[in-house]
């Protein structure tokens, strides 16, 4: 009796999975468009830049050329930077900022650093050799009005058709969300910083 019940459960499971696969295959068959995506990682939770760097590593693993501009993390030496710089033919990484804005306390310096980073980003996006460009923490620059939002939106809207772009940072502007193909919001449920745990090597950098 037990064997019969188990066989019946297996049969039902196989039938259920068969129907799910057929439904999924039907949906996938309608997805025929291939294009460069504008992706936004935002929200208060940890992992926005981490996810973008993971995507960069995936692209490099597929032989794609990646450009990374770090807008406000220039003072940090990160593990992912060390890894990606081992592939100089496939990854160009530039840390342009002087650290987070509340560390510099110098608006003119912030404006100059943001402009320098943005000009480098535009060059990368215009270069047909790049398949993916990561604009890390661009949202923070836009939040503090260190770059004209209209200019950024126009450039991103008119990027090359097959170029993938990732923009990270909390408080993404509504205008950016509107033109993006993919928007992911990281939600903070718990964070060790609130318990007195400092940023640790291999986890935060």
Q: What is the pLDDT along the chain (205 residues), one digit of tens a residue?
A: 566 778 888 888 888 888 888 888 888 788 778 999 999 999 999 999 999 999 999 999 999 999 999 998 655 568 888 899 899 999 999 887 665 555 557 788 888 889 999 999 999 999 999 999 999 999 999 999 999 999 999 999 999 999 999 999 999 999 999 999 999 999 988 888 788 888 888 777 7
Instruction: Locate 158 and state its tokens.
Output: 């008119």
Q: How many CA atoms lie within 13 A of 157 on its CB side?
A: 11
Locus of tokens 């310096």: 109
The span from the CA of 1 to the CA of 58, in Å, is 50
Tokens of 78: 């990160």
State the maximum Cα–Cα separation within the chain, in Å, rounded to a whole number. Answer: 80
Phi, psi (rounded to 5 degrees) for 86: -75, -5
| Nearest residue to 45 via CA among 169, 197, 137, 198 | 169
pTM value is 0.84
Question: Which CATH number describes the domain made up of 35-195?
Answer: 3.40.50.300
Give residue for tokens 């019946």.
Answer: 8
Rounded to whole angstroms, the Cα distance separating 36 from 47 reads: 23
Return the pLDDT at 42. 98
d(CA 77, CA 82): 8
Judge whether 168 and 139 are in contact, CB under 8 Å: yes
Q: Which two tokens stand for residue 159?
A: 């990027």
**Cα–Cα distance measured from residue 5 to residue 140, given in angstroms and rounded to the nearest whole number:** 58
What is the C-alpha separation between 121 and 196, in angstroms, rounded? 36
């Amino acid at each position: 009796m037990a064997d019969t019940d188990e066989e019946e459960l297996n049969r039902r499971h196989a039938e259920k999975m068969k129907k799910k696969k057929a439904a999924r295959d039907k949906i996938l068959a309608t997805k025929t468009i291939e294009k460069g995506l504008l992706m936004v990682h935002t929200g208060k939770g940890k992992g926005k830049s981490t996810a973008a760097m993971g995507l960069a590593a995936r692209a490099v693993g597929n032989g794609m050329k990646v450009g990374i501009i770090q807008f406000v993390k220039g003072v940090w030496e990160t593990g992912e930077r060390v890894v990606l710089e081992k592939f100089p033919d496939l990854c160009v990484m530039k840390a342009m900022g002087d650290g987070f804005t509340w560390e510099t306390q110098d608006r003119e310096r912030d404006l100059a650093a943001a402009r320098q980073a943005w000009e480098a980003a535009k060059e990368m996006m215009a270069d047909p050799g790049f398949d993916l460009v990561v604009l890390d923490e661009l949202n923070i620059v836009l939040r503090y009005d260190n770059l004209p939002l209209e200019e950024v939106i126009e450039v991103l809207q008119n990027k090359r058709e097959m170029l993938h772009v990732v923009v990270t940072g909390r408080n993404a502007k509504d205008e950016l969300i509107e033109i993006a193909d993919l928007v992911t919001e990281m939600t903070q449920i718990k964070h060790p910083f609130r318990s007195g745990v400092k940023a640790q090597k291999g986890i935060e950098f």
